[in-house]
Amino acid sequence: MTAAPHIVLHLGAHKTATTHLQHSLIAQRIPLWEAGIRTLMPPHLRGKGRSLEARFDLPINRKVSGTGPAPEEVRARLIGTASRLVVSEENFLGVLQTRKGRVRLPLYPRARQRLGMLIPVLAPGQGVDLCFALRDPAGFLNSAYGQVLMGGQRISPDDFKAANPLGAVDWGDIVMRLRATPGINRLTVWRHEDYAALFGDICTVLLGDCAVPVRPVPEVVHGGLSRDAVHATLTGTHDAPTARAAFPVGPDNPPFNAFTDEELDLSREFYAVQMKEIAAVPGIDLLRP
């Protein structure tokens, strides 16, 4: 009998360089496949009937049919002959914001329930390793605000901040909920601020000790909005995608920041406390540079 494939889920969070990591892995998908590693990224998992919940016909699928293929058939198609399956799809845990421009808080409120449905059909009897990245609350909300504008919502920074307070971005809460999910063998987390320094270590966690070198793609993927791009969007001279292209982040045009120096200091304090709590939990591997 052959050993069951090792399954690793990288499920975000949003706005933590997730897309950059995915593009870097996609660039090496052929060598990885030849090494026995199958990677499933958003291009494979988005679109009609392609999400994990749709493929397995899970109850969270909006169009659950109850007549989908057996889980073992779906699993066999996803994994093939690979010895390792790496899935990276932040949207599985839930969307980042509502249509009214609010971040869903607490973060990913149904994460444990969603994973609790997926793991038994994706990795029955063996469980999965889970990877998750975090970000300073102020930086996270600044980036989320840009995403709201990119989605066509025109909301002022003050209104966005009032609807999404810094103190509500509690990474300790979501990480503890993920850790408590049955079927999670290993939970690895890292800070977005350490992503560049940890890139090689992150790839080792995802891919194991394979001989395929994965290098970070050089370009910024899904970059944020600059100060001037936000101004152009709010004044109506450009829509957000056009403004991002017209006023890219650069030496003379810093990234947009909605917070005061005092708020940024408070955010760093929140974040440090959360990271200390997370690091103290058994069963959580916190990557550090």
| pLDDT given at position 1 | 41
| The dihedral sign for the CA sequence 85, 59, 132, 112 | negative
The residues near 211 (Cβ < 8 Å, ≥ 6 apart) are 35
The answer to whether the beta carbons of residues 108 and 175 sit under 8 Å apart is no
How is the chain split into domains, by residue range?
A: 6-151+169-220+271-286
| pLDDT given at position 2 | 56
Low-confidence ranges of the chain (pLDDT < 70): 1-2, 61-67
Cα angle 259, 274, 202; round to 5? 95
Q: How far apart are CA 159 and CA 235, in angstroms?
A: 16
The answer to whether the beta carbons of residues 188 and 131 sit under 8 Å apart is yes
Pairing state between β 184-191 and 284-286: parallel
Instruction: Specify the CATH number of the domain 6-151+169-220+271-286.
Output: 3.40.50
| pLDDT given at position 20 | 95
Q: How far apart are CA 271 and CA 170, in angstroms?
A: 8
| pLDDT given at position 170 | 96
Give the tens place of pLDDT for each residue, 22-53. 999 999 999 999 999 999 999 999 988 899 99
| pLDDT given at position 4 | 87
